[in-house]
């Protein structure tokens, strides 16, 4: 059965929001590069890669359900921050906004009795729990070391070890 237009439109909105997220994280990566925090730059680059895969998972799902993809123009992301804590605090706010968007999609899928989309979205619900927890941990660690250049150096080195794993390659 083809996806309902209301659900198709809502998923397209999320697909475009994922594009905005990837653009934001790439900008954050560039910012960290500019202040020579290569580990944090790498962490944000991996986050950018994850957002690309989140977008493509929705892209494939809309196509599988017989829907149409509707890309929109992207707004330029912010490019400057006051430091690492500011970047990761804004990242947390952003991820909380994404969680709310996913929850709204789940609610719409239930209202429309679109159980296939409801099931599809469960991956995103779980992903957002992980996303928020990871960022909260980093924010707390930055707060612990923000007045210590050695501590910031160690945290930067730790964040450099993040490895991109495309978790979306499982069956949709």
Q: What is the pLDDT of residues 55-82, one digit of tens each?
A: 999 999 999 999 999 999 999 999 999 9
- Range 19-28 average pLDDT: 97
CATH architecture of 5-164: Up-down Bundle (1.20)
Q: What is the pLDDT of residue 146?
A: 85
Q: What is the pLDDT of residue 27?
A: 98
Residues 56 and 168 sit within 8 Å (Cβ to Cβ): yes
CA 142 to chain centre: 20
Structure tokens, 6? 């209301």
In the predicted structure, residue 28 carries a pLDDT above the cut 80: yes
Residues 102 and 43 sit within 8 Å (Cβ to Cβ): no
CA distances from 133 to 70, 101, 129, 140, 164 (A): 31, 17, 6, 11, 17
Residues 54-75: b if buried by 16+ CB within 10 A, e if exposed = bbebbbebbeebebeeeeeeee
Structure tokens, 91? 């990242």
In the predicted structure, residue 170 carries a pLDDT above the cut 70: no
φ, ψ of residue 78 in degrees (nearest 5) = -60, 150
What is the pTM (predicted TM-score) of this model?
0.93
Domain boundaries, the chain: 5-164
Q: What is the pLDDT of residue 172?
A: 46
């Amino acid at each position: 059965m083809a996806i309902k237009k209301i659900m198709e439109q809502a998923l397209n909105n999320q697909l475009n929001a994922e594009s905005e997220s990837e653009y934001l994280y790439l900008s954050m990566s560039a910012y960290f590069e500019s202040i020579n925090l290569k580990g944090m730059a790498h962490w944000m680059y991996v986050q950018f890669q994850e957002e690309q895969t989140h977008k493509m998972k929705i892209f494939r799902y809309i196509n599988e359900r017989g829907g149409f993809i509707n890309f929109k123009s992207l707004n330029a992301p912010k490019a400057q921050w006051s430091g690492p804590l500011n970047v990761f605090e804004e990242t947390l706010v952003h991820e909380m906004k994404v969680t709310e968007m996913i929850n709204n999609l789940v609610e719409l899928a239930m209202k429309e009795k679109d159980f296939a989309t409801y099931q599809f979205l469960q991956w995103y619900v779980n992903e957002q729990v992980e996303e928020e927890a990871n960022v909260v941990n980093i924010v707390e660690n930055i707060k612990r070391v923000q007045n210590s250049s050695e501590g910031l150096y160690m945290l930067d080195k730790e964040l450099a070890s993040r490895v991109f794993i495309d978790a979306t390659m499982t069956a949709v």
